[in-house]
Chain A
C-alpha cells in the first residue's frame, strides 16, 4: 500500500502550482460549457392539440396555378403528315422554315425503308436499359459508326438529346469542381450545370478576354492554395453552334486557353453536328482542330440526323466512364432500334451525299443576306453567322412585351401568306440569363433558290406592312 501511496503523494507535491491553476481553469470552462449546452433554448414541443390546430389551419397553394387558355403552349399548330420541306396544317401546305431538319432527311425513303425493316426484326421498343438486355446490336453498330464518323475512339449513345447533355456534365463535374460556361449556352446545358453542383463561372458570350480574366483570377487563387488546386477539376462548356444566337464558338482560342490553364473542354455540337465542316463533322473539322484534343463532344441526333437520341464521343478514357455514371444512360430504356437504324442510315447518306452540306451553306448565306436587306431600315434585325442554318430575327425595343407582339404579328402574317415560322420558346423564369424574344428561322438543304427568294419576299412584305402600322 505504502509503495503505491508514497510515490503518488510525492508526484502530487512536486508538481509546480501553475499546473493546478491551469487545470482548474480547464475544469471550470468545461462545466460552464456543459451548463450552457443544457440551457440553449430548445424548439418548443407542440402538444397534440396544437399540432392538430396547425394542420387544420394550414392551407397549401393549389398544385398548379390556373393557365390562361390563350397561352401559346395550349394552342400549338396541329400538323398532318410529315414535317419535311412543306408542312400540312388543316389541309394547306406551308413552307417549313421552323424545324431543324437541316439536311432534309425527314421523309427520306431510304431511312423509312430501313426503319420499317427494323420493326420487323426487332419490334419497336427495346424493353430495358442498356445494362439489362436493352443493348441491341444496332446500338453497338451506331456507336461504332459515330466514333468513326467523328474520328474519336468511342461513342456512347443516349435515348434523348436533352438527357444526353444534362447527364453527361454531372457525370464528371461534382461539388468542389469549377465549370466555366458561356452565357449563351442552351437550357439543357444549364440543367446539366445545375445538376453537377459545381461552382459555375459565367463569361460573356464568345468573349475570350472575359474568359481569360476569370481564368487568371482562378490561377491567383491556386497559387495561394495549391493543395486545393490539385484536387479541383476544371471544365469549360461551350456550344459548337449556339442555338440561342446562331454563331460559332472561337474554337482555336478556346483550345489555346485549355492548354495554357489546364481546363478540360466539353463542346455541345447539337446544332453543328452534320452542319458545320466540309463533311459535317462539326466545328473541329471546320477549324482544323484535332478532335482527340477535345475532351468530349456531346451532340443530339434530333436535328440534322432527323432521328431521336444523342451521343457523346471522345477518348475512351473519358467517355467510357458514362456507361456507369451517366444517369440518363444507366437508368433509362435504350433508344428504340428503329430510331437507331434510322440514324445509322442518315449517317451513311451524309457520307454518300456531301453536296447536301454545300446546299445548306449556300441556302444559309442567301437567306442571311436576303434577310439583312429585307429588314434593313426597320426596327427588326437578324442575328446569326453566315455558316449557320439558324437565324434569330429580333426587334429593337426596350419593352419586351412590345417586341413579342411585333414578332408574333410577323409570325402570324407570314403564316397567312404560306410561310411557317416560329418564335424561339424559352422558360423565361428558369433560364439563367434574361432572354431577348426572337423568331428562330431555319433553312434546310432541300430549299431551292426560288423558294428562298420567295420566302424573303414574303418576309419583306410583312415587315413593311408592320412597320407602316
Chain B
C-alpha cells in the first residue's frame, strides 16, 4: 500500500494560490514589457542550468498583487489557423524515416513468423493455434515494432498530486520497451503535461477540505444510476451552480467527460438528422456521433467557408438516401482543440448557424475555465451570448481538477436529455467528493468567497500562456495554435525527434507530453506543453 497511511489528516496546511506562486511585474498596463530578454547572457544562464541539471524552481510566495485589464481576444485568422507545415525536405525525410522503420518492422515480423527470431512480447497461447488470429493488419506491426521502442515516453507513473511540481517514478527498460523496471527512485519534475489550467490540482486547500467533508457527509459512492435517486445537497447544487456559472437556464453533470459526449449526443440527434463535425474533433465526439445513427459529414478544421458550403448543400439537397430534407442539422465542434491548440471561430459559426437554422454543440473541454475574463469559456472570450449556443458541453477534469463532464443549455434541452440519456438510465452517480471539488473550485472562480482568487488565476493563466508562447517563438520553435490557448504544441515532425525531446526533457526534470500517430497524423508528431496558472515566471523561464 502506498504510504498514504502516514498522511496526517489533521494537519492544517491549507494554502491558496496566493502561496503557490503568482508573480508580478511582467507587463505594463499598456501591454509593453512582455518581451523576454534573449541575449547572450541569458543563453549562458540557460546552458549553466542544463549543465548543473538543477531542480526546477519551486513555487514561491507572491510579492505583491497586481491588476490589469483583460485584453481583447485576438480574432484575426481564426478560420485559417496557424498550422504552418514543414518544408518539403523535412516532409520527405519524415516519410523516408517511416519507410525505413516499416521495412525493418516487416522484416522482423517475417523473421518471427518463421521462428528465426524469438518474439519477446506476449504471444498467443498454443491452445488457440486453430483460432482465427485476434490481431491483424498494419496496426499491430506499428505497435510492436515502432511504438514499443518509444513507449517509455507514455504512461509515465506519477506518485504525487499533479500540480506544477510533481513526482514521477523513475523507470527504465532493459529490452527496448518490452518490459519496464522501476529503479526505486523518484524524480521531482516541473509538470507541463497535466491538464491543470487554473492550478486547482492541490492536495491541500479549501477544495481538498470540501472533498474530505463530502466523504464524511455523503460517502464515496452510491451504486445507483441517476434516474431514480439523486443527491440533494451535492448534485442539485452542482447542476444549479454550473448553470449560473455559464449564464444559461439549466445544466447537469455526469461522472465521465468522455461518456458525456458518447452517451448524450445520441439523446439529441438520431436517424434522419445530419451532424457536421470538425475534422479534428475528439474521439468522444466521434463515438457519440457514430452511435447516434445520424449522418455525419466532416468539414475542414476551423474552415467557416467549407462549413457554409456543406450547410447550403445539405439544406438544398436534403438526405439523398431518403430523398427528404434533414430533420435537423447539428454542428459539432470544440472550443480549444487539444492537439493543435487552435481556438474555434465561434462568432462566425454562431452567425452561420443563425442564418441556416442549424444547431450548435460546443465542446469546451479545454476552454472552460481557461478562456474568458471570468473563465466562462469561448462564449465569454469572444463576447457571444451563451444562449446562442444550443448545447454547451464541457469537462470538469481540466480547469477544475476533478473528473466528469456537464451539459448546459435551455431547461427544455436538459429535461429532454434527462429522459433520454444513456448515462442517466444505465450509469452511476458522480462521486460526492469529486462533485465537492468542482463546487468548491467553481465558488472560488466565481468569486463567491470574495477573495478575488479566481480572477487572479485566470489572468495569470493568460499571462503565462502569452509569455510562454512568445518566449518559445523567439527562440525559433515552431508552435501551432492560437496565441491565447494554454495548449502549446511544439512541432517536431519526426517521431524520433519527439522521443528524444521527451527523454531529454525528463532527464532535465521537465515533464512534457510527446504525441505521435494515431492522435496526430503520421508525419506531424509534436511535443505538447500545458500551461497552468500556478506556473511562476521563473519556472517558465527555466523551461524555455
A124 touching B224 by the CB < 8 A rule? no
Tell me which of A34-42, A422-430, A459-467 binds B. Answer: A422-430
B413 touching A64 by the CB < 8 A rule? yes
B230 touching A76 by the CB < 8 A rule? yes
A81 touching B218 by the CB < 8 A rule? yes
A79 touching B232 by the CB < 8 A rule? yes
* A256: min CB distance to chain B, Å: 14
B254, closest chain A residue (CB): A160
Interface presence of B416 (CB below 8 A): yes
Q: A55-B315, A125-B397 are in contact. Are A137 and B169 (CB under 8 A)?
A: yes
A123 touching B201 by the CB < 8 A rule? yes
B229 touching A338 by the CB < 8 A rule? no
User: Inside 8 A of B132's CB, which chain A residues have their CB?
Assistant: 229-234, 262
A74 touching B316 by the CB < 8 A rule? no
Partner of B259, one of A130, A162, A318, A338: A162
Partner of B390, one of A58, A63, A191: A63
Cα A58 to Cα B130 in complex, Å, equals: 57
Interface presence of A25 (CB below 8 A): no
Q: A64-B413, A162-B426 are in contact. Are A336 and B159 (CB under 8 A)?
A: no
Cα A339 to Cα B220 in complex, Å, equals: 8
A336 touching B431 by the CB < 8 A rule? yes
B312 touching A131 by the CB < 8 A rule? no
B259 touching A121 by the CB < 8 A rule? no
Cα A308 to Cα B431 in complex, Å, equals: 8
- Per-position binary interface string of chain A over residues 324-356, scored 1 when its CB falls under 8 Å from any chain B CB and 0 otherwise: 110110111101101101101000000000000
Interface presence of B51 (CB below 8 A): no
* B230: min CB distance to chain A, Å: 5
* B408: min CB distance to chain A, Å: 14
From 106 to 137 in chain B, residues with beta carbon under 8 angstroms from any chain A beta carbon are 122-125, 127, 130-136
- Per-position binary interface string of chain B over residues 189-211, scored 1 when its CB falls under 8 Å from any chain A CB and 0 otherwise: 00101111000011110011001
- Per-position binary interface string of chain A over residues 301-323, scored 1 when its CB falls under 8 Å from any chain B CB and 0 otherwise: 01100111000000111101101
Partner of A135, one of B135, B158, B330: B158
B402, closest chain A residue (CB): A125
Partner of A195, one of B284, B287, B359: B287
A327 touching B203 by the CB < 8 A rule? no
A132 touching B513 by the CB < 8 A rule? yes
Q: A117-B9, A124-B402, A324-B143 are in contact. Are A72 and B227 (CB under 8 A)?
A: yes
A55 touching B356 by the CB < 8 A rule? yes
* B25: min CB distance to chain A, Å: 29
* A17: min CB distance to chain B, Å: 50
Interface presence of A436 (CB below 8 A): no
- Per-position binary interface string of chain A over residues 404-432, scored 1 when its CB falls under 8 Å from any chain B CB and 0 otherwise: 00000000000000000011011100100
A100 touching B223 by the CB < 8 A rule? yes
Interface presence of A445 (CB below 8 A): no
Interface presence of B156 (CB below 8 A): yes
* B518: min CB distance to chain A, Å: 8
Q: A79-B229, A136-B158, A422-B228 are in contact. Are A264 and B328 (CB under 8 A)?
A: no
Cα A335 to Cα B202 in complex, Å, equals: 17
Partner of A117, one of B7, B224, B233: B7
User: Inside 8 A of B255's CB, which chain A residues have their CB?
Assistant: 160, 308
B282 touching A74 by the CB < 8 A rule? no
Cα A123 to Cα B196 in complex, Å, equals: 12
User: Inside 8 A of A194's CB, which chain B residues have their CB?
Assistant: 291
Cα A91 to Cα B215 in complex, Å, equals: 20
A308-B221, A308-B428, A331-B282 given; 7 more Cβ-contact pairs under 8 Å: A66-B412, A79-B230, A119-B212, A122-B161, A163-B258, A338-B215, A339-B434
Interface of B toward A, CB cutoff 8 Å:
1-2, 4-5, 7, 9, 122-125, 127, 130-136, 139, 143, 147, 154-163, 166, 168-169, 191, 193-196, 201-204, 207-208, 211-212, 215-233, 236, 255-259, 262-263, 266, 268, 282-284, 287, 290-291, 312, 315-317, 325-330, 356-359, 390-391, 395-398, 400-403, 412-413, 415-420, 422-428, 431, 433-434, 437, 511, 513
Interface CB pairs A-B, < 8 A, 12: A78-B231, A80-B232, A117-B5, A124-B211, A124-B434, A124-B437, A126-B158, A130-B155, A195-B290, A233-B134, A425-B228, A430-B266
